[in-house]
Every structure is written in C-alpha cells, then in structure tokens.
Chains A and B, each alone.
Chain A
Amino acid sequence: MATYEDLKAKAEAAWAPFEEPQRPLIKVGVTTCSRVAGALETLAAVRAELAARGLEADVMVTGCWGLCYAEPLVEVRRPGRPGVLYGNLTADKVAGLIEGTLGAEGAAPELALAVLADASLDGVPPLRSLEFFAGQERRLMANCGVIDPEEIDHYIAHGGYEGLAKALAMTDEQVIAEVLESGLWGRGGAAFPTGRKWDFLRTAPVTPKYMICNADEGDPGSFVNRNLMESDPHLVIEGMVIGGYATGASYGYIYIREEYPLPVERMERAVEQARERGLLGSNVLGTGFAFDLEVVRGAGSYVCGEETGLIASIEGSRGMPRIRPPFPAQAGVFGKPSNVNNVESYANAPLIMRNGAAWYASVGSEKHKGTKMFSLSGQVRRVGILEAPLGTPMSDVVVGAGGGSPEGRALKAVQPGGPLSGIVPASDVGIALEPEPFRERGMFMGSGGLVVIDDSNCVLDLAIYFEWFAEDESCGRCTTCFAGTRRLLEILRRIASGRGRNSDPEIMRLLADTMRYANCVHGQAAPTAVMSMFRFFEEELNEHLQNKRCPAKVCRELVRYEVVHHSDRLPQAEAICPTAAVVRENGHYRIDQGKCIKCDACREQAPYAIAVVDAFGP
C-alpha cells in the first residue's frame, strides 16, 4: 500500500513539466461557464494551430479562474517566463495569439488580460492589479485555473491529501478539535459550526455512519460550488474523507444537482482516481481506515438542498423535507447517523488540517474566520466567482471587484444567497459579508450568490419572482408553506396588476408571521424578500399599490407602449412585432393596445419613436 510520501513523490514528478516547462505550455480553462462561451472550440483551434505551424508545445485543460466575464480564458507560458492570461479568447483569435506569443515570442499585449507575476511584463499588468482580484484571498480557489482538474497528481503536487495524511496520524477527537478551533462554520447558509456538527456524528452510537455532501446548489444566481467541483474536485473529496475519519463514517454520498453535468463528470472521475491511489477504499493510505463514496445525481428539485429533503431523495423517495428532530446525526440516510455539509464546508477541512487552525483563522473578521466564495451576477459589469475573507464589505465585492452597475445606471439593491435570503438596499451595500449584518436586517447571507439589481429593475417584480420560485419548489407537505407561498404570490401579482388593496400589506405580514411555523426553512424563509421590500422599498411598493404606477416601468399591466415621435426606424419596429401590434395607417404609426404583449421589441428597434408610459394616471 502506497504511503502519502510515495504518492507525493510520484505526483511531483508528474507535475514537474508544468511547473517549469521546457517548451511552451498553453492552458485552456474548460468549465461550464467557459464551455458556453466557446472554450472547447478554442481548445480545438489551439491544437489545430499548433499542428499547422508544426510547433512543439503542450496543451493542458484547466479549471476556472472565476473570470466569467472574460471567458474563454487561455494562459500561455513560455520556458523561463511567467504565464500570461488572455481573456475573451474565442477560437477566431487563436491564430493571432499563437502568432503573437510563440511566433513573434512576445506577450501579445493587445490580447492579454494579466500576467501571473508580481510585476507587469511587456505592458501587461499583474493579475493582482486587476480590480476583480484586488481584494481576493484565494485559498479554496488556489488551484482553480492552475491545475488540470482531471489529474489527481496535479492536486497532490499542490499539497493535496497532505491534510488527510496529517489527520490520519491524529485521533478523531484531535481532528474535530482542530476544526472547531479554526472557527469553520457551514457554508451552505445555516452557519452552524462544522466541528460541532461532526462531533454529533462522532458520538452517535449506531453504525454505519454516512458523510453527505450537499452539492445541490439550487439557489439561482449561486454558482460557487459548481466552480469548485469542476476546477478542483479532489479538495471536496479530501474534505469528506477527513470528515469520515473524524466521525467514524464509512461511506459518503455527493449529491449533485441535475443542472451540473460537468461537475458530475469530474467528481466521478476524481472519485475513481482517489480509489486507484488508495485514498478511498478499505484501507485509506494503508492506515486500515475504510471509507468510500459515490456521486448521486439529482433531478431538479430545489428543496432537495434542504438536508432532510436531500436524504429522502438519496433514499429514493420524493425529496420532501421532514420535521427535525431527529437530526441527521441521529437518524439520517437509511435511518443511520449522517452528516450533511455543503461543498465549500468540506473543501475547507483539508486546508485546516494541512496548515493548522491558526493559519486558517489568520484572515476574516473578529467573529468569523476564513474566507468565503461569492458569485456575482445580474446588473454588474464583471460577472464572476471570487473568494474573499469573511467580513469584507459587500461593496468591495459588488462595486470594487464587480465594477458596480452598467454604464449610466445606478445600483439599487443586492440580493444575497438565493431566493429565500432577502434584498439588501443600495444604502446598505457597505455591510460586512458575515451572517450578523444580514440577520439584523431580517435576511440571510446564504450560500454565496450576489445578484446585483439596478434602477432599471422593479423590486416588486423581483419579489414576485422569489415568491413564485418558493411556491413552485414547495414540496407540498405542509399547508403553511405551499398555501402560504401561493397566497403571497397571488397578492403580490394583484398589486403588480394595479388591483392591490390597502389591506394587502397587513395580510402579507400576517402570512409571513404564520409561515415562520412551516416544517422546514423553505417555508419559514419564503417571505424574506417580501419583508425586505416592506422594510426598505416601501415607497416603491406604495407607488404600485396607491397610484397603480411602476416607477421602473417593468410591471406589464401598469405600462403601455406608445408611439411618441416619428422615426425612420418605425418600419423595423413594425416588422419585428410578434403580434402585429405596431400598426401603420395613412403613413402614421400607432400601437394596437389590444394586440400588444409589451415585449419591448419595438422599442429596441425604434427607441426614439416608441416609449413606455404609465398605463394609469396622468
């Protein structure tokens, strides 16, 4: 049986050619977000271009740096020089890149995004100087974009499985003590101390015990777990094996949502490789500790992200959450003691074991140690994934890294962590990214999604979306939740259609108060966005309610389209209209309100001539 030292020596030998390449090395990031931007085409074009030119170079697939806004991303390294990153490198730019870097032996600065060094090179700025990277502390993401996620040796050569080797030399109680001391808490949203959760399972008297990884990242707008699983899958596996050792669990499940085919593929491959190396199986690293795991693919249900729902889904029944207690540590999957943690929680464990709790706690705020990954999307200039110390002001991430709202528009709000987490107004964008400031505002920080909202968006429209989502995904077990969400949705839609009643806010408050008694957090938290709206956007809500007016002109029943000017572009508007509502009579254009579906296509074509006006009022 191979020892950790044997594995490490072998892995370092395998990584050596990539550490100090003797010939040019081209790395292409291939992940979900880059594939949709054309990374596979870029990869093929790189290979074809090298072959056509007869150039000697290595091509390597890597994970993702988190720069979604600049995908596809390519790194070129020439012997003896630092790597240079090239952004938005679609297949059509590959020939220019190869010519500029390998042909002319330059850095092709006109295509370059950043250089992977401390100082700039040929006018290309260092990665750290990019606004997106400035406030980042990359620990979980240290390997993202650097290694090939399908090569276990790359991971081991970067310190992978060292934490496991250290843990296996300790007692289970020592491992848990180390995790407790680090201050790590669950990253899935509930923020429960991971060490304590593990200790519940360790002291459970029944065997077998199970480790479950919740990779059902169902919060729309959150995609941090996806990036980690497809860029550095072994980090998650190592965390689960450490957890298994600390708690006495012998088997694990990684439950990945249906919408993530690439993470499923890469995790499955990583599990196989770990088994081949003796890092999983009946005798982990020759210590006699037995642990194995498998990947379970979900099938499109949001509530399966709730731990008891997830357990029901693994067991093969409807994925409906149940009342706790009993908690999973008492009776989890197949009625046996189980521990459910988020992907990111597990991924922190190897770092804590490798570097120690003191190192781990060296960043973060006074109360909360370590880092957290965040995904930025919506009305923000730079969409992407980043990692920052806990306690970082949210404005540093949204405005600093993300670049704030698009040109000419103002930041209105930020929606953190998923549809059940609430809406933070722009005036509070400076709050620290840790649980308390959100809790004080009746919200949750959630699992890491940050969806940015600007002044072209309507808060009521957004609240309707969140409530629709909660209603659609309600499992149907408790009336409090399935009827409560439906009733809230009806009232919100009524207000958005201009038929709101003065008593509506009071009814919604009453409903929200009742829903706190729902069986699981899905129903309990479903009214959060509505409550945020009452608290921070009352004026906007009242405009809908009292004046039948949508200030952002989004709510369709409160606006209509009108031809307000003449323009040469009106024929285009007439042609694009899907319902023939742009009518020409005697050379004049008007909108047939009976036919108009308010899709905005005509205004896209003729923005000067066609305007959105209030349907009611002056």
Chain B
Amino acid sequence: MTRITAGPPHSSRYAAADTPPDDAELAAKVRELIAGLSPDSADLLTAFHRIQHEYGYVPREAIPVLAGQFGTTPAMLYGALDFYSEICTAPPSGTTVEWCSGPACLLKGSTNIRRVLESVLGCAMNENTPDGAFGLRLVQCDGTCHLAPLLRLEGKYLGPLSVSDAIKLARGLKGGPQREAGGDGEKPAGVPEGGEES
C-alpha cells in the first residue's frame, strides 16, 4: 500500500490535555523574550516569532506565560497560535526537507518528488520519522519559481530537480549506500505503511 496524499494532514498538536509541566527556567526565558510586548500594539505574532526563533517551536509551557502577558486565556491564545501554519507546536526534526507546494513546481512535477521523498525518507508530508531524524514540511510558494521544482534544505534552495535528483538527495540524507546501476542484493528503501488518505 502506498501513501501518497494530495493534501497535508493537520499540523501536530500538543499531547493529551494534562497541565503543562512547571518549567521555571523556560518561563523566565519566555518572559524575557516577550518583555515589553503588548496586545494593544499588534505584538502577538512578534511574540510567537521570537519564541519560535529561540526554541525552533513554541513549547506548550510558554502558553500560560504568553496568555498572562497578553491578558487573555491560554485557550484563546492557543487558538490564535494554532491558526498559523508557520508556527510549530512540536520540536523540529533533525533534518527537515521543505517541499514547495506552489503551482509552478506542481506543473513541473513536484508531486512525483513528494512521492519519492515520502517513500525514501519514510514519513508523510508534515510529519517526522519516528526517530525524529527527518521531517518533511510543506511550504508555500515564495516566488523563486525559476528553480521549480524545488526543495529547501537547511535554508538552501535546490532546483530545478528531477525525480532522480530527489531520490539521490533523500538517499544521501538517509546515509544509506547509493544503489549502483545493476547492483545486486541491495535492499530497496521501504514504503511506509498505512496513512493513505482517500
């Protein structure tokens, strides 16, 4: 069974509804990051960006601190945070491959590239591998369409890519041996199971 989905699953959520652990150090750091920001001057997005810049995501322990500063409830604040796809609620993976979902890339074969990345890396779009080593992230078009179809890896833009390029890239990231032409006995990269969206 293959798991090629045309749309991303929902962004990751915080785990079950238990109270966030009391992390005084993190709370102090967050307080320092958002000092001086106020709800009356369009600062909430700035607060999210500063925290994400520091931690790579917005830790759930930061929510009560943010809510206090912005004079709202944690639920309301989480509602705002959850609305934005660029604000992460889980730590990023070790290596994140960003796949452009834009129309220029689509017309030039990005769907095929997505299929092979999901297959070789072993995770679906907007998910991480179970060990957290790799992640795939869907990103929106930023108008660098002369490189379509493109991927972004650690801030670098790679494109225009053929499907074969993408396979080699993903295999290289995985660190597995590159299968040579006509090579025997090499085990193929497995297709992950389940998760098919109908």
Interface residues of A (CB under 8 A from B): 32-33, 36-37, 68-69, 71, 217-218, 220-223, 226-227, 253, 258-260, 294, 296-302, 313-320, 333-334, 375, 377-379, 383-384, 415, 419, 451, 453-454, 457, 461-462, 464-465, 468-469, 471-472, 475, 489, 493, 556, 571-572, 574-580, 595, 597-601, 604-605
Contacts and interface: CB of A to CB of B under 8 A. Distances in A.
Contact of B106 (A298, A315, A462, A604): A462
Given A379-B107, A462-B107, 11 more contacts: A33-B144, A296-B42, A298-B45, A301-B85, A383-B145, A464-B6, A465-B103, A489-B7, A579-B119, A580-B188, A601-B162
B7 A471 contact: yes
B39 A316 contact: yes
A608 to B, nearest CB: 16
Given A36-B147, A383-B145, A579-B119, A316 B7 contact: no
B86 interface: yes
Nearest to B138: A472
Contact of B107 (A302, A457, A469): A457
Nearest to A557: B4
Given A36-B157, A600-B163, A604-B164, A378 B112 contact: no
A601 B116 contact: yes
B84 A253 contact: no
A572 to B, nearest CB: 5
A297 B103 contact: no
Contact of B189 (A227, A315, A379, A579): A579
Given A36-B144, A316-B42, A578 B189 contact: yes
Nearest to B41: A294
Contacts, number: 196
Interface in B1-38: 2, 4, 6-8
25 contacts: A217-B143, A222-B143, A223-B143, A226-B142, A227-B143, A259-B142, A260-B142, A298-B45, A299-B48, A315-B42, A317-B76, A377-B145, A377-B148, A383-B145, A457-B107, A462-B106, A468-B7, A575-B180, A576-B179, A579-B188, A580-B188, A597-B2, A599-B112, A601-B163, A601-B167
Nearest to A582: B188
Nearest to A415: B103
B103 A576 contact: no
Given A298-B45, A378-B104, A69 B146 contact: yes
Which of B45, B101, B145 has most A Cβ within 10 Å?
A: B145
B90 to A, nearest CB: 15
A222 B103 CA distance: 10
A309 to B, nearest CB: 10
A68 B145 contact: yes
Contacts of A598: 112, 115
A576 B167 contact: yes
B86 A299 contact: yes
Contact of A468 (B6, B70, B146): B6
B80 to A, nearest CB: 5
Contact of A296 (B45, B102, B107, B115): B45
Given A68-B146, A319-B83, A599-B163, A378 B107 contact: yes
B116 A253 contact: no
B60 interface: no
Given A259-B139, A379-B107, A316 B44 contact: yes
Nearest to A458: B107
A259 B101 CA distance: 13
B75 to A, nearest CB: 12
B80 A379 contact: no
Interface string B75-99: 0100110011111000000000000
A472 B148 CA distance: 22
Interface string B44-73: 111011000000000000000000001000
A601 to B, nearest CB: 4
A556 B42 CA distance: 45
A297 B49 contact: yes
Contacts of B87: 299-300
Contacts of A297: 45-46, 49
Nearest to A466: B103
Interface in B117-150: 119-120, 139-148
Contacts of A37: 146-147
